[in-house]
């Protein structure tokens, strides 16, 4: 996020100040309530209710910011992938985002998107649309929806295996190598050829 929390805020920036304060508390591992966020932002205890009905609404707004930040991480400074190797680099960026912002990443995916949060639903949908677009470019003849589910499952699973301590998170270059190798293994694997069902005729 580009805003910065401080004691007080410029007129019209209340929502941004509250989100920045809440993001700081989330990523510092500090439990937060609307009252605590107001205190961090330097505003009155009732100020958050002008923008957020409750803590759930605030968390949904944070998740929305997370989806937008993740999309920016995957797209900024790079062209859309046109090869499997370049696709793997998006996987590396995805996992690195999870490791760099673990609390936000868990919040983003810890709850299902609710139709009550149009912005969160839209932000999550844009991320899925990006994945489908990229896969359609790299594998134009593939079943893109199914491939998108498989690719997301791979990279998302790798992200949580690292976050949950099942895979080492350092050094980061080893994490990147592991993600690239997983993509290469999946995309290059071929099932053995069979000439038909096994012969089960009694001898």
| HEC string for 80-148 | CCCCHHHHHHHHHHHHHHHHHCHHHHHHHHHCCCCCCCHHHHHHHHHHHHHHHHHHHHHCCCCCHHHHH
Question: For the chain, how many residues are written?
Answer: 203
With a pLDDT cut of 90, the percent of the chain lying above it is 77
Instruction: Kindly list the domain boundaries of the chain, sorted by start residue.
Output: 10-52, 56-187
Q: Architecture of domain 56-187 in CATH?
A: Orthogonal Bundle (1.10)
User: What radius of gyration do the chain's Cα atoms show?
Assistant: 21
Residue 10 reports pLDDT greater than 70: no
Residue 151 reports pLDDT greater than 70: yes
Q: Mind listing the pLDDT tens digit for each residue in 14-69?
A: 999 999 999 999 999 998 899 999 999 999 999 999 999 999 999 999 999 999 99
- CA 59 – CA 48 distance, rounded (Å): 12
């Amino acid at each position: 996020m580009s805003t910065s929390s401080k004691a007080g805020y410029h007129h019209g920036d209340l929502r941004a100040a509250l989100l920045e304060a809440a993001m700081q508390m989330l990523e510092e591992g500090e439990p937060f309530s609307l009252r605590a966020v107001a205190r961090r932002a330097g505003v009155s205890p009732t100020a958050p209710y002008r923008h957020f009905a409750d803590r759930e609404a605030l968390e949904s707004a944070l998740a929305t910011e997370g989806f937008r930040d993740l999309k920016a991480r995957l797209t900024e400074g790079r062209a859309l992938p046109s090869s499997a190797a370049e696709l793997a680099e998006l996987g590396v960026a995805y996992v690195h985002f999870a490791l760099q912002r673990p609390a936000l990443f868990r919040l983003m995916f810890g709850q299902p998107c609710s139709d009550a949060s149009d912005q969160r639903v839209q932000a999550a949908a844009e991320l899925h649309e990006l994945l489908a677009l990229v896969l359609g470019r790299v594998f134009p003849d593939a079943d893109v929806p199914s491939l998108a589910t498989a690719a997301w499952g791979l990279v998302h699973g790798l992200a949580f295996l690292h976050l949950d301590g099942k895979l080492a998170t350092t050094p980061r270059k080893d994490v990147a190598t592991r993600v690239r190798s997983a993509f290469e293994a999946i995309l290059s694997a071929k099932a053995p050829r069979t000439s038909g069902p096994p012969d089960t005729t009694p001898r």
